[in-house]
Structure 1
Amino acid sequence: MIEQPSRGPGRRQDAPDRVLLLHGMGCGPWVWREVEAALPPHLTAVAPVVAGHRGGTRLSRDAANSAPEQMVDDLERQLDQLSIDRIHVVGNSLGGWLALRLAERGRALSVLCLAPAGGWRPGSVGEKLVVSRFVLGHRVARRLERTPRFLRAARVRRAVLAPVVHDPPAVTVADTVRFVQDLADCQALRAAIGHAEARQLTAILRVGAPTTIAWSGDDRVLSGDWARDGFRHLRVDEVDVPDVGHLPMLDDPGLVAELIANRVRTAAPSSP
């Protein structure tokens, strides 16, 4: 979670030199580690744990009905603890939707979405496909969490990572173990699998900040026009990034850092 300031929250101010990095469903802040190292010196990364994920704020008992909004509320609370009003926001997958929701609430100076979730139509074939992929991934992760020694085998790691990265062998054993642990111990994912309401990501009606959506060329989780339909009305910049998977931060952290730096640099002043 974001470290709280020693004196508690004060007057909120914009943070133009900081970037909020939001991980996706079943992941954790570690996915941004190499991106943070590649950011230009004038940018400082803030990488919280999204509520409902391992090490983060627990979702309340009514998570089945309000899990996504609880995540947004918790992120706002954490920004308030740091006395931050608006900040540059970057999000991957679920984190991309959360970034757009923060922009909708007036908390973003700019937004970069990497393969954002929430573009499917409720009840669509696309949504069912995403759910089936997460159900399978969660089951496999639960089994491997109990027998992590199997992850030492390159073929097992490849099978686990192939759906989310372009180059599985480039991911270390340690990071693969982290990936499996986060996926296995994810309260938000369990809620989304068990309750349709918990995976209903509210349609984004507007964005209050300069926004870019970057789609991964080798995305096997959100692959197809159905993943983009729900964002077309926003009329934001869209780019296609070749040779990266659903987690582009693991495939090409330098490129992701460049995308972040470009988005921050070209962000025009926006009104609160």
Structure 2
Amino acid sequence: MSGEPLVLLHGVAMSGRVWDPLIPALSARYRVLAPTALGHRGGASVSRRPARIADFVDEVEQLLDEHGWSTAHLVGNSLGGWTAVELARRGRARTVCAFSPAGFWHAGGTGHADSSAEIARNVTFARLTRPLAPLTLRAPLLRRMAFRVIAEHGDRLGPAAAEGIVADLLACTVTDDLLGTGDQIADFAPLPCPITVAWSQADRIFPVAVNGAIARQRLPDATFEILPGVGHVPMIDNPDLVLHTILTCTGAAPEPGHQAPTS
């Protein structure tokens, strides 16, 4: 691998595999890592319960140390975006690109309780329908319905990728810890590096009008963007738009003639 280091951090109850559609293009420019977080399918076990956000930040910081990277470009979605912001607070980020980051709420109240309940319902639905998943997820319309909480176009996932997301969701051992956390992102200014917060316009878990508004208050110096036509996990809906956003955030010039797609 060559180029500057770039770390891709996934959301709660997912895995590093969610970044697979973007890795080939990013690897042409960067040294890319897409780790799976503690307590998630394929990740390391947690050492204390309930797990705290600091545990996830510590783990990525240790990963940076193991690779000899004092800093890296950090890209994260949801939990991963929260982790990236906290790593920037520790001085470990060159840039941060956070897609609908978690942590912008009032613990147990505005922006938190409703989001946690939405995720919990999604887990329950996945658990109840798991025996039928290999069959139902073959149909594009049913994939779109099954993933409507996190994506506008779940039908764009292939059946194998869709089954993988369900398996990740059900195998996560720290979902309840994170849904019930009292942690949140504190006010952060001035920023130690450029931070872009890219919020999904159709986010049903962290609505931009609620959680995005809190983010604007707590990160007043960050660059804010609204990504059109995508849900909470925008890599599912529009990987090209996500790629363009990352390249812009990290300062890599888009290829000549390349325009950010809008749908």
Measured against the shorter chain, the TM-score band is: 0.7 to 0.9
Q: Which residue of 2 aligns with 1:71?
A: 56
Aligned residues: 248
AA of the residue aligned to 1:213: V
| 1:72-221 aligned within 5 A | 72-149=57-134, 150-193=136-179, 196=180, 198=181, 200-206=183-189, 207-221=191-205
Alpha-carbon distance in structure 1 between the residues aligned to 2:234 and 2:122: 18
AA of the residue aligned to 1:139: T
Give the structure with the larger helix fraction.
Answer: 1
User: Higher relative contact order by CA 8 Å / sep ≥ 6: 1 or 2?
Assistant: 1
Per-residue CA deviation, residues 221-254 of structure 1 (Å, 9 max, x unaligned), is 1114320243223221101111111111111111
| Higher alpha-carbon deviation: 87-96 or 115-124 | 115-124
Q: Once the 2 structures are TM-superposed, how far is the Cα of residue 60 of structure 1 from its aligned partner?
A: 2.1
TM-score (normalised: structure 2): 0.87
In the alignment, is the contact (CA less than 8 A) between 2:104 and 2:185 conserved in 1?
A: no
| Higher alpha-carbon deviation: 164-173 or 228-237 | 228-237
Q: Which residue of 1 aligns with 2:36?
A: 49
Alpha-carbon distance in structure 2 between the residues aligned to 1:123 and 1:226: 14
Alpha-carbon distance in structure 1 between the residues aligned to 2:24 and 2:187: 31
In the alignment, is the contact (CA less than 8 A) between 2:3 and 2:29 conserved in 1?
A: no
| Higher alpha-carbon deviation: 211-220 or 139-148 | 139-148
In the alignment, is the contact (CA less than 8 A) between 2:199 and 2:212 conserved in 1?
A: no
Pick the aligned partner of 1:234 from 219, 231, 243: 219
Q: Which residue of 2 aligns with 1:24?
A: 11
TM-score (normalised: structure 1): 0.84
Rate the CA distance shift 1:201–1:16 in 2: closer, same or farther, 3 A: farther
Per-residue CA deviation, residues 2-58 of structure 1 (Å, 9 max, x unaligned), is xxxxxxxxxxxxx96121100001111111111112337222321011112111111
| SS, match of residue 5 in structure 2 | strand
Q: State percent identity of aligned pairs.
A: 31
AA of the residue aligned to 2:31: T
In the alignment, is the contact (CA less than 8 A) between 1:31 and 1:249 conserved in 2?
A: yes
Per-residue CA deviation, residues 56-115 of structure 1 (Å, 9 max, x unaligned), is 111123x22x42111111111111111111000000011111000010011100000111
Q: Which residue of 1 aligns with 2:261?
A: none
In the alignment, is the contact (CA less than 8 A) between 1:144 and 1:180 conserved in 2?
A: no
| Higher alpha-carbon deviation: 129-138 or 34-43 | 34-43
Q: Which residue of 2 aligns with 1:38?
A: 25
Gaps of 5+ in 1: 1-14, 268-272
Rate the CA distance shift 1:199–1:154 in 2: closer, same or farther, 3 A: farther
